[in-house]
Structures are given as structure tokens and as C-alpha cells.
Amino acid sequence: MPAEIRLFLCRSDNYGVLLHDPESGATASIDAPEAGPIEAALKATGWALTDILVTHHHADHTDGIKALKEKYKCRVVAPSAEADTIPAVDQTVREGDKVKVGTLSANVIETPGHTNGHITYWFHADSVAFVGDTLFSIGCGRVIEGTPGMMWRSLCKLRDLPDDTEIYCGHEYTAANIRFARTIEPDNAALAARETQAKQQVATGEPTIPTTIGEEKRANPFLRADLPEVAAGIGMAGKPAAQVFAEIRARKNKF
Ligand code: ZN
Ligand code: FE
């Protein structure tokens, strides 16, 4: 049976996500930005929390863990490289590991850069990936702990997932990301179309995610740093992709 997903806002711009396996009844929260909205979503769906899958150690992804763990006795799965900075971890995982949520199964993909231990959970059979703060719609996470080269390689790993993979990210940053992306690729028609779509979504109070890998490949400049026209457009024709990526990321930091 296909997974069921419920998406909701937490804090100011974080996304909470519940992933439910109708066959077993298992339910995972992807990260735990804030206990209250997660509990409200559990109440609204009638689902019982069995697991928390943590992408990285930042407080806006882990603050809700303690309260949820105490209340639901759920299992907490976290990246092994960050387990000592995440509360109440039961199981640590690394690249190539599989994580079950009932009968649903995720492959763990290491996507360092935003933090050094950041991971992505890819539910292959359900064509969905939970990418935390690595990839955003039309953007990517700040490179806080790692290097731009590391982040570029992580984004390339995600770009290699099938085009129809639905991407759930940690934040609603799409509108601001599009404003920046237009300065990098002003003539990208897919980006212009995404801008129109996102404006409509924001106006009607809808989330702008999930997005898909195929859509991001067409419109997200951070996944397009190895295209000659993108490098040329920012005056870096012929430069290595990781350098072009680093320049785009640096410009976004100052935008
Ligand atoms: Zn973060
Ligand atoms: Fe975050």
C-alpha cells in the first residue's frame, strides 16, 4: 500500500511531515521541529507516532524530540555522525543503511554540507525523499559546517534520484529562493513558470512543496552549476562546477 503523507508548518517557516504506512499503522515524523503542531497533526489524522527520522542536529529539527519520545515511546533514528548532539537517539544510520517504517523502507543517503552528518531518507518504492536542509525548492541549505564542494557533491547525489521523486524539504523558502534564482538565470523559462505557480500557491495559502527532482533540475540554479550557460551567465565560463556552485551560494548568502 502506498505511503500517506501529511505536511504542516511548524515554528515560523519549518515544515513538519508525517509519513504513514496504512498496512502496519506505523507513522514516522520526519524531524521534530516542534512537538505541538506534530501532536495536532497526529490527532487530526488519528495516526500513532512510532518513529522519528532525524536529518540533522539543528534545534529547529530536533527541539520536539524529547516531548514526543516521552509521550509516544517512539524510536528515534539519527545520523551516526551527529548522534551525540541529538537527544534520545535509539538507532544510528549511515550511507547505504535501510530504515523501515512499518512495511515502508528508506535508503539512507549521506548529504553533508549544511551540517557534516546530514542525511536524506529516500523511500524508493514510494518515490519520495526527505532532504532536510540540503535541497530546498529552487534553493539549497546554507553551507554551515561543510565545504561548498561537499555540498555540491551531496546535491548531485540527490539530482541522480529519479525525476519523479517527490522532495520534501525542511523549510518554506521557495518565494525568496525564486527571487534570487531569477538573478542567476533571468531567461530560464521553467524558472519563470515556477515563479507563477509559487505565487499562486502562496496567494491561496498552499505549501509550495513537495517539488520533484525533475522540476528542480529544470529551475533550481544550485542543481545547474555544471551547465555551461549557467557558468557563463555569472562570468565563470569553463570553471569547475563546484566553483560555480560556490559562487552562486556565496551570492545567495549576500542576497
Ligand atoms: Zn538546519
Ligand atoms: Fe532548518
**58 carries an active-site annotation:** yes
Q: Which of 20, 57, 114, 118 is catalytic?
A: 114
pTM: 0.98
Q: Give the residue from 174, 214, 227 showing the smallest Cα distance to 197.
A: 174
Catalytic residue among 20, 31, 51, 56: 56
3-state helix, strand, coil in the chain (%, to 5): 40, 25, 35
Domains, the chain: 4-254 (3.60.15.10)
Nearest ligand to the CA atom of 16 = 2
Q: Among residues 60, 63, 118, 126, which one is catalytic?
A: 60
pLDDT tens digit string along 139-175? 999 999 999 999 999 999 999 999 999 999 999 999 9
User: What's the CA gap between 16 and 6, in Å, rounded?
Assistant: 8
From 90, 79, 28, 30, select the one nearest 57 (Cα to Cα).
79
Q: What is the pLDDT of residue 144?
A: 98
CA–centroid distance, 132 to ligand 1, in Å, is 7
Q: Which of 58, 63, 118, 126 is catalytic?
A: 58
As residues whose CB is below 5 A from the ion ligand 1, the structure lists 58, 133
Q: What distance in angstroms lies between residue 191's CA and the mean position of ligand 1's atoms?
A: 25
Q: Which ligand is nearest to the CA of 13?
A: 2
171 is catalytic: yes
- Selecting among 20, 57, 61, 118, the annotated active-site residue is 61
Pick left, alpha or beta for residue 238 (phi over 0 → left; psi -120 to 50 → alpha; otherwise beta): left
Positive or negative, the Cα torsion across 208, 209, 215, 217? positive
Q: Is the dihedral of CA 217, 219, 224, 225 positive or negative?
A: negative
At 146 the pLDDT is 98
- Predicted pLDDT of residue 59: 98
- C-alpha to C-alpha distance for 109 and 94, rounded to whole angstroms: 7
Give catalytic status of residue 61 as yes or no. yes
Please say if 20 is a catalytic residue: no
d(CA 211, CA 168): 7
- Rounded to 10 deg, the angle between the 241-254 and 174-184 helix axes is 120
Whether residue 1 has pLDDT greater than 90: no
213 closest CA partner among 137, 141, 154: 137
As a whole number, the mean pLDDT across the chain is 98
Using CA atoms, how far apart are residues 103 and 173, in angstroms rounded to an integer? 32
Q: How many CB atoms lie within 10 A of CB 229?
A: 11
How confident is the model over 65-123, as pLDDT tens digits?
A: 999 999 999 999 999 999 999 999 999 999 999 999 999 999 999 999 999 999 999 99
Burial of 240 (0-12, 13-18, 19+ CB in 10 A): middle
SS3 126: helix
Ligand at minimal distance from the CA of 115 is: 1
